[in-house]
Amino acid sequence: MTAALRRHGWSYLFVLPTFSLFVVFTLLPVAQGLVLSLQDARVTGGSFIGLANFGTLADDPVFRQALGNTVLYATVVVAAQVTLALIVASLIQPLGTKSRVFYRALFYLPLVNSAILVAIVWRWIFNPNPFGLANATLGVFGLGPFLWIGSSDQALLAVILSAVLTVPGGGVVLYSAAMGSLPRELYEAADLEGAGPFAKWRHITVPLLRPTTLYLVVVYTILAFQIFERVYIMTNGGGPNNATITIVQLIYSTAFQFGRYGLASAMAVVLFVMAMVVAVAQFRSLRTDVEY
Amino acid sequence: MSSTNRLPVHVLLIVAGVLSLFPLYWLFLTSLSPTQYVVRVPPEVVPRELTVGNYQPIVRWLVNTVVIAGVITLFHLLFDSMAGYAFAKRRFPGKDVMFWLVVSTLTVPAQVTLIPVFFILRTLGLLDTYPGVILPGLADVFGVFLMKQFIQTLPTEYEHAARVDGASEWQVYRHIIVPLSRPALAVLAIFTFQRYWNAFIFPLVILRDPAKYPVQVGLATLQGEFNTDYGMLMTGAAVAALPLIAVFFAFQRYFIEGIRIGGVKG
């Protein structure tokens, strides 16, 4: 044992700081989160209640609203982001190296900013008052003013629009990098057959980019499931009649405003399972992927 | 494609880029406008008069953010490169299990650990303290994964040569691995700093005292449910955006490189 320790001591020393922090602040919390979801944990303490929290969630109209809003937001925003990234990257690709570098930077710059900053600006753009930029702009065409974040019908639309109206820079960079490494022979063969630029894009580029597309769909979906800051800032944490309530927003208020830690942990477990389902789906479709 | 063909493409891309950048422009514009112009109808897209009076109370929060994000980044550079080296190049019992545990938590949403971490910090008496915000930040393992992937690609000959020359294991790490890993360390530094500069929900839950808030949390408290001082809010947001924009322009290629190595998650 001491011989082994002497031989491997350095290895353990190198791993020790990260791994001990990881165990205390990630691994054990994940386990404790699962345990808490089975407890009636409140500020005053709690007891084991099995799956009762999940039953409570299933019957809770606010949680169902949060789940529905989160899935709707993720579906629309991910579809829009991946499509936008693909289109922008495709437009950038045939340009010269200098232009490519410029545009990648241009589209990545907005992403440096925190969700909070971005949400603060969007809150103002979709302000119900006439001085809100969306209303002022639409007013030029004689439309509105709309209530946007002040109305239970339009608040979620405003939140979704705020996410859709920004080109996803990370996706552009990844698509752009993937396009650079596609095999040229296929395009040359297509040229010989007289295929036009759109036919080549539709039948060669898009299918070959499938691994990148899958990766982006999964990462963006998991990120979208965790939407919190936009809702917290744009609509004061849920909007009129919980119109924009999301799972993470509800976890936050259930745990840290109402002290129902067990119930909030059960919501976190639901979120965890949603993320896992998406990740596993990606893994399975990647395995059946075409090689080139 | 001929250059005349490209013009519409450029126009389209520029328009899309400007639209994406517009919130940022709007932010800086409003932050420099006196409050009476901020709520003007119609909104003024070109400023009439500029002021810097909105910028005072944000400074404290900015300093807090620099300290928190800076300390977390420094520790990540040290710890992640050490662990990345061990996982990439060394053989020891339990290595595969440990690495598997680390990787398996990469897709766990951070909100899952939020409540338990809050409990742990309460037990340790670290709620409402800087260590309470910093320690959980050191547990994120994305950097270990990034460093391992990079260090794996380094040739092993240098290490062997150094050991033959009598270098200790620490010296091998310090004088061979660290200098060769500089590109990956740069990516790691930028991503980590950006991530904790922009962190929101953890500090929001852990800190109580407004004097300790990082800037993102501070800004969020500036907006009331009914009365919001938009001049102040937009100013703070603009100031909070500046440092990262500066970092972005200084280290742009590392950002782009980082996405290619580490994906869009960072």
pLDDT at A45 over 60: yes
pLDDT at A207: 92
Q: Mean pLDDT over all residues of chain A?
A: 88
Within chain A, which residue ranges are assigned CATH 1.10.3720.10?
A: 52-287
List, in sequence order, every residue forming a beta bridge with A45; answer none if it has no partner. A42
Taking only residues 49 to 108 of chain B, the set having a beta carbon closer than 8 angstroms to any beta carbon of chain A reads 78-80, 82-83, 85-87, 90-93, 95, 98, 101-102, 105, 107-108
**CATH number listed for the domain at residues A52-287:** 1.10.3720.10
Strand partners, B228: B223
Q: What is the pLDDT of residue A279?
A: 85
The pLDDT of residue B173 is 94
Q: Please give the structure tokens belonging to residue A165.
A: 């109206």
B107/A222 CB distance under 8 A: yes
Nearest CA in chain B to A164: B20
pLDDT-based confidence at residue B109 (cuts at 50, 70, 90):
confident
pLDDT at B23 over 80: no
Q: What is the pLDDT of residue B66?
A: 93
User: Residue A18 — very low, low, confident or very high, per pLDDT cuts 50/70/90?
Assistant: very high
Q: Is A14 an 8 Å CB contact of chain B?
A: yes
- In this predicted structure, what is the pLDDT of residue B224? 62
SS3 at position A127? coil
Enumerate the β-bridge partners of residue A48: A39
Partner B contacted by A232 (CB < 8 A): yes
Average pLDDT in the B7-14 region? 84
Token pair, residue B51, equals: 């002021």
- What are the pLDDT digits (tens) for B201-217? 999 999 999 889 999 99
Name the range with the highest mean pLDDT among A6-10, A16-20, A190-194, B248-252. A16-20
Which pLDDT band, with edges at 50, 70 and 90, does B22 fall under? confident
**Residue B2 confidence (pLDDT):** 47
- Helix A261-287 and helix A210-225, axial crossing angle in degrees, nearest 10: 180
Highest mean pLDDT of the ranges A11-25, A96-110, A115-129, B47-61 = A11-25
pLDDT at A252: 95
- Sign for the pseudo-dihedral over CA of B197, B201, B204, B205: negative
Q: What is the pLDDT of residue A292?
A: 43
Percent of chain A with pLDDT over 70: 96
Stronger pLDDT, B227 or A144, i.e. the higher one: A144
- The greatest distance separating any two alpha carbons of chain B, rounded to the nearest whole angstrom, comes to 76
Nearest-Cα distance to chain A for B111, in Å, is 6
Distances (CA, A) of A281 to A241, A277, A278, B25: 34, 6, 5, 39
CA distances from B208 to B127, B134, B218, B235 (A): 8, 15, 11, 23
Tell if the CB–CB gap between A252 and B201 is shorter than 8 Å: yes
pLDDT for the residue B60:
86
How distant is the Cα of A20 from the closest Cα of chain B, in angstroms? 8
- Name the band, by pLDDT with cuts 50, 70 and 90, for residue B27: confident
pLDDT, averaged across chain B: 83
Which tokens in the block code for residue A97? Answer: 């190296």
Mean pLDDT to the nearest integer, B77-97 = 94
Whether A187 and chain B come into contact, CB under 8 Å, resolves to: no
**Taking 70 as the threshold, does the pLDDT of residue A290 lie above it?**
no
What confidence tier does A167 reach under pLDDT thresholds 50, 70, 90? Answer: confident
The least confident of A109-123, A275-289, B47-61, B102-116 is: B47-61
Q: A39 pairs with which residues across the strands?
A: A48
Give residues 37 to 76 of A whose Cβ lies within 8 Å of B: none
Listed range (A51-65, A85-99, B34-48) with the worst mean pLDDT: B34-48
| Cβ count within 10 A of residue B66 | 15
DSSP assignments along chain B, one per residue: --HHHHHHHHHHHHHHHHHHHHHHHHHHHHHTS-HHHHT-SS--SS-S----GGGSTHHHHHHHHHHHHHHHHHHHHHHHHHHHHHHHH---TTHHHHHHHHHHTTTS-THHHHHHHHHHHHHTT-TTSHHHHHHHHTT--HHHHHHHHHHHTS-SHHHHHHHHTT--HHHHIIIIIHHHTHHHHHHHHHHHHHHHHS--HHHHHH---GGG--HHHHHHHHB-SS-B-HHHHHHHHHHHHHHHHHHHHHSHHHHHHHHHHH-S--
Residue A81 and residue A165 in contact, taking contact as beta carbons nearer than 8 Å = no
Q: pLDDT for B128-170, tens place per residue?
A: 999 999 999 998 888 999 899 899 999 889 898 999 998 888 9
Who's near B19: CB < 8 A, 6+ residues apart?
Answer: A165, A166, A167
B26 or B66, greater pLDDT: B66
| Least trusted range by pLDDT, from A52-66, A132-146, A205-219 | A132-146
Q: Which SS3 state, helix, strand or coil, does residue A42 take? A: strand
Q: What integer pLDDT is reported at residue B1 of this predicted model? A: 45
Residue A5 to residue B106: CA distance in whole angstroms: 29
Q: What is the reported pLDDT for A291?
A: 46
Task: Sort out which chain B residues have CB atoms less than 8 A from A226's CB and list them.
Answer: 109-111
* Contact call for A109 and B248, based on CB within 8 A: yes
Residues in chain A closer than 8 A to B101 (CB atoms): 22, 27
> Quick check: B52 pLDDT over 50?
no
- Give the pLDDT score at A90: 92
The gap between the terminal CA atoms of chain A, to the nearest Å, is: 49
Q: Which pLDDT band holds residue A180 (cuts at 50, 70, 90)? A: confident
Q: Map out the domains of chain B with their CATH numbers.
A: 1-51 (no CATH), 56-262 (1.10.3720.10)
The strand pairing partners of A42, in sequence order, are A45
The C-alpha atoms of residue A179 and residue A174 are separated, in whole angstroms, by: 9
